[in-house]
Structure 1
Amino acid sequence: MKKAGILNRQLAGALAGLGHGHEVLVCDAGMPTPEGPRVVDLAFRAGVPSFAEVLDGLLAELVVEGATAAREVRAANPAAAGLLAGRLPKLVLVPHEELKERAAGARLIVRTGEARPYANVLLRCGVFF
């Protein structure tokens, strides 16, 4: 049994299968999940687990070379916008509709219980060397 890091077996296994250039969508409870990508649904209740908790857990395990979020996050959810800007210096903002379209190409979607709008980010995996 693992003693640290992500303990959820479905999520830990999915993360182990990611490679350079693969994308992971971390999303709030309301984001539509497209057919195709593997989905690990962590949502338990509204707000649990939070977007921030899940994002921080993933960032501790992944090498991230880039990230994309919806530009609407700035006005609709300043707390999430600040979190993303602080954690992801190479963050690119696009229209929300474009983010939803790009989510179909993600290798993995991690759904949180976040109940605030636009708490979504598409992470692009890097390489550790």
Structure 2
Amino acid sequence: MKKAGILNRHLSAALAELGHTDEVLVCDAGMPIPSGPRVVDLAFRAGVPSFAQVLDGLLDELVVEGATAASEVRTANPETAALLADRFPGLTLVSHERLKELSRGARLVVRTGEARPYANVLLRCGVFF
């Protein structure tokens, strides 16, 4: 049994399969999930687990070379906008519609229980060397 890190067996296995340039969508409970990507649904109740908790757990285990979020987050959800700006200084912002289009290319979708709008980010995996 693992003693640290992500304990969810489905999420841990999905992360181990990711490679350079693969994309991971971390999303709130309301984001439409495209057909195709593997989905690990962590949503339990509204707000549980939060977007921030899941994102920080993923960032402890992934090398991320880029991130994209919806520009609407800045006005609709300033707290999440600040979190994303802090975690990703080079964050790319696109329209929410464009983010939904881009998410179709994700290899993995991790759905949180977040119940605030536009708490979504598409991560591009990097390499550790």
- For the aligned pair, the TM-score class normalised by the smaller chain equals over 0.9
User: Are 2:41 and 1:41 equivalent residues in the alignment?
Assistant: yes
C-alpha distance in structure 2 between counterparts of 1:91 and 1:14, whole Å:
24
Aligned to 1:59: 59
C-alpha distance in structure 2 between counterparts of 1:91 and 1:48, whole Å:
25
C-alpha distance in structure 2 between counterparts of 1:57 and 1:3, whole Å:
14
- CA apart distance, 1:67: 0.2
Helix, strand or coil: the match of 1:61?
Answer: coil
TM-score (norm 1): 1.00
- CA apart distance, 1:74: 0.1
User: Are 2:105 and 1:76 equivalent residues in the alignment?
Assistant: no
TM-score (norm 2): 1.00
Count of matched residue pairs: 129
Helix, strand or coil: the match of 1:26?
Answer: strand
C-alpha distance in structure 1 between counterparts of 2:110 and 2:121, whole Å:
10
Q: Which residue identity is paired with 1:115?
A: A
Unaligned 5+ segments in structure 1 are none
User: Are 2:27 and 1:22 equivalent residues in the alignment?
Assistant: no
The 4+ residue runs of structure 1 with deviation greater than 6 A are: none
Q: Which residue identity is paired with 2:101?
A: E
Deviations 1:8-60 (A, max 9, x none): 00000000000000000000000000100000000000000000000000000
Q: Percent identity?
A: 81
Q: Which residue identity is paired with 1:64?
A: V
C-alpha distance in structure 2 between counterparts of 1:10 and 1:90, whole Å:
30
User: Are 2:7 and 1:7 equivalent residues in the alignment?
Assistant: yes
Cα RMSD after superposing both structures:
0.3
Helix, strand or coil: the match of 1:35?
Answer: coil
C-alpha distance in structure 2 between counterparts of 1:14 and 1:84, whole Å:
23
C-alpha distance in structure 1 between counterparts of 2:88 and 2:3, whole Å:
27
Deviations 1:40-86 (A, max 9, x none): 00000000000000000000000000000000000000000000000
C-alpha distance in structure 2 between counterparts of 1:99 and 1:7, whole Å:
29
Deviations 1:83-102 (A, max 9, x none): 00001112100000000001
